[in-house]
Structure 1
Amino acid sequence: MISPATDDVLFEQHGHVAVITLNRPAKLNAVTSEMSDALVELAQQCNQDDDIRVVVLTGAGERAFSAGSDIRELDKYATPWAFRNREDYCDSLKVLRKPVIAAVNGYALGGGLETALICDIRIASSNASFAAAEVKLGWIGGGGMSALLARSIGPSNTSLMLMTGDPIDAERALTWGLVSEVVEPAALLPRALELATTIAARAPIAVETAKANLSAAYNLPLDQAVRYERDIQTVCFATQDAAEGRAAFAERRPPTFTRA
């Protein structure tokens, strides 16, 4: 069983699904350096554990997914260069090869929004709200805010959020494509677990390959992206899971995938 190094981050496992919860509801789940370290360690352990196929990330309580970094900690860095080179909680999720679903309950502000954006799929409760609020405090996001927002909602909507710092509600986030679904607060985690369980039932290597391929599709020129996709399709096709999928189809039965 994986155990975080702080009680401010919780870990549970439901079958092949891991649930990571930011657990500072009284502080809107603002992330401390200890929480950041715990997230880095959890991401590495989830990568190494073949029994974990999907990760769900959420915040404790209904008020907030995360308000981003704990502002009071930002003055602890000795120099701006030390701040620049910190091991950030947003970066921890980038190393996850497995799909990550953000279950956004309440505020997703600043680094909390960046954290949600790094996740592969975002589901929001009807009371969720999203803001790139750093500009109101005199700086901008540094965990990929501009690039990730622009990919999700386009340059004009991104400019509106980055330059005003004002929040948008869940329905606007859905209309803009920032989230895939909006559900009532009580249904948020059950829906995220339902979706995660569906994905976990698919061939794990194929799912991880799909995630890697999508990243390549964004970062490579079109002809290289198509060639890359063909190459990793061939890798998937050679797995035992792919053979199981073909056999199950021929035998008209559900496949049993073993990550092989």
Structure 2
Amino acid sequence: MGESVSDAVLFEAKDNGVAIITLNRPETRNCLSKEIRAGLFAAWDRFEHDPALRVAILTGAGTKAFCAGGDLKEMVETAMTVPPRDMFPVPYDTVELSKPTIAAVNGVAYAGGWMLAQACDLCVAASTARFAVTEVKVGRSSPWATPLIHMIPQRIMMEILLTGKPIDARRAYEIGLVNRIAEPGELLEVALELAGEILAGSPHSVRAARDTVMLSTEMGRSAALQAARFAAVSCYESMDAQEGPNAFAQKRIPRWQGR
């Protein structure tokens, strides 16, 4: 078990290799205040650099909000125009991560909340969750939504961004934004089950699989194939690549060593 990185962002390191990161300001709907941002940067850094941790689950405290977005009061006070490039702790963007992440969306995920849920590799949502890119409602913009085109159809993305109207968890599942829906009281359990399915695989294979998905969204077909073959070499040459077939032949569970 691990201790929290801050009061605003809780960090729990479970014995099975899962880190649970919780935005802990339900009274402000877990909006991306300075303290939330600082705590989240620290949490992602801790997760990435702890070799015992293999999957992170990001969720929010309370039942109303996963994250309601940026701190509008701060924007008013600072007369914010273009946000600094490193202002928000976005996985695989402003935060360097090499391991899988799961968003466990327990309530509203609006604006910056959608940004965080979108940035995670996988997403589990409570049946009561709602998602919206609300920037058009407050005169802001959402350039971070660009990768969304690799997740959902263009016309659906266009409607979501142009109207700012929320969609419920069922609709988010239908369009491919959400992997699984859970009853509110079972959200973390379902997210942990999904993490467990990832943990059952070889660490080398999981990393190569994630690289394959990301390369395929960033490159053309031929270039992605070549890059994915290169990214897979360390996996094929690992000890786990021998352990897997041996375990199958011996009809036993593989004993992954991550090397």
TM above 0.5, yes or no, is: yes
Bigger relative CO (Cα 8 Å, ≥ 6 apart): 1
Instruction: Output the CA distance in 2 between the equivalents of 1:72 and 1:251.
Output: 61
- Partner residue in 1 for 2:250: 251
- Partner residue in 1 for 2:101: 100
1:19-38 pair list within 5 angstroms: 19-38=20-39
Are 2:179 and 1:180 aligned? yes
Instruction: Output the CA distance in 2 between the equivalents of 1:91 and 1:125.
Output: 21
- Partner residue in 1 for 2:114: 113
Contact 2:109–2:117 (8 Å) recurs in 1? yes
Are 2:70 and 1:69 aligned? yes
1:49-68 pair list within 5 angstroms: 49-68=50-69
Instruction: Output the CA distance in 2 between the equivalents of 1:92 and 1:206.
Output: 19
Instruction: Output the CA distance in 2 between the equivalents of 1:59 and 1:174.
Output: 19
Label 1:29 to 1:159 Cα distance change in 2 as closer, same or farther (>3 A). same
- Partner residue in 2 for 1:153: 152
Label 1:149 to 1:137 Cα distance change in 2 as closer, same or farther (>3 A). same
Are 2:43 and 1:42 aligned? yes
Instruction: Output the CA distance in 1 between the equivalents of 2:174 and 2:53.
Output: 32
Q: TM-score, normalised by structure 1?
A: 0.93
- Partner residue in 2 for 1:219: 218
Instruction: Output the CA distance in 2 between the equivalents of 1:193 and 1:99.
Output: 13
Instruction: Output the CA distance in 1 between the equivalents of 2:161 and 2:256.
Output: 43
After the TM superposition, which of the residue ranges 104-113 and 92-101 deviates more from structure 2? 92-101
Deviations for 1:109-129, whole angstroms, at most 9, x for unmatched residues? 000001000011111111010
- Partner residue in 2 for 1:11: 11
Contact 1:7–1:23 (8 Å) recurs in 2? yes
- Partner residue in 2 for 1:200: 199
Contact 1:4–1:38 (8 Å) recurs in 2? no
Contact 1:124–1:179 (8 Å) recurs in 2? yes
Unaligned runs of 5+ in 2: none
Instruction: Output the CA distance in 2 between the equivalents of 1:113 and 1:79.
Output: 20
More helix by proportion, 1 or 2? 1
Shift of 1:26: 1.2
Label 1:5 to 1:55 Cα distance change in 2 as closer, same or farther (>3 A). closer
- Partner residue in 2 for 1:87: 87
Contact 2:9–2:43 (8 Å) recurs in 1? no
Instruction: Output the CA distance in 2 between the equivalents of 1:234 and 1:47.
Output: 22
Aligned sequence identity (%) = 37
Equivalent residue pairs, number: 257
The DSSP-based 3-state class of the residue aligned with 2:215 is helix
Read off the aligned partner of 1:43 and give its amino acid letter.
W
Read off the aligned partner of 2:254 and give its amino acid letter.
P
Deviations for 1:153-178, whole angstroms, at most 9, x for unmatched residues? 11111111111111011111111111
The DSSP-based 3-state class of the residue aligned with 1:213 is helix
Label 1:165 to 1:255 Cα distance change in 2 as closer, same or farther (>3 A). same
Deviations for 1:115-149, whole angstroms, at most 9, x for unmatched residues? 0000111111110100000110001124x11x132
Read off the aligned partner of 1:121 and give its amino acid letter.
L
- Partner residue in 1 for 2:235: 236
After the TM superposition, which of the residue ranges 239-248 and 87-96 deviates more from structure 2? 87-96
Contact 2:106–2:126 (8 Å) recurs in 1? yes
Read off the aligned partner of 1:46 and give its amino acid letter.
F
The DSSP-based 3-state class of the residue aligned with 2:125 is strand
Label 1:224 to 1:193 Cα distance change in 2 as closer, same or farther (>3 A). same
